Amino acid sequence: MTNEPFSSPRDAALALLSSGERLSRKAGSFLGQLAVDDAPMSAAQTNWLGKLLDRANMPQLVKGEPHD
């Protein structure tokens, strides 16, 4: 895996889901939603995705990712 930032929430979610990282049911549901729904994320969702990526030692989203 590279350290390049993810270009979309979908890409980040799919990477987390396939990483083998231990995820809660709630986190898995959230990531599944991001994988199939391209609706803009809220600030809270953007923050949560960032925390999940941090915990998995994965790169963040490209800065300036749109949200509501």
Q: Which amino acid is at 41?
A: M
Per-residue confidence (pLDDT) for residue 3, from 0 to 100: 84
CB neighbours of residue 13 within 10 Å: 22
Rg, Å, the chain Cα set:
11
CB atoms within 10 A of CB 15: 17
Predicted TM-score of the model (pTM):
0.86
Taking the C-alpha atoms of residue 48 and residue 36, their distance in angstroms, rounded to an integer, is 17
- Measure the CA–CA gap between 33 and 64, rounded to whole angstroms: 21
Each residue's pLDDT tens digit, 24-56? 999 999 999 999 999 999 999 999 999 999 999
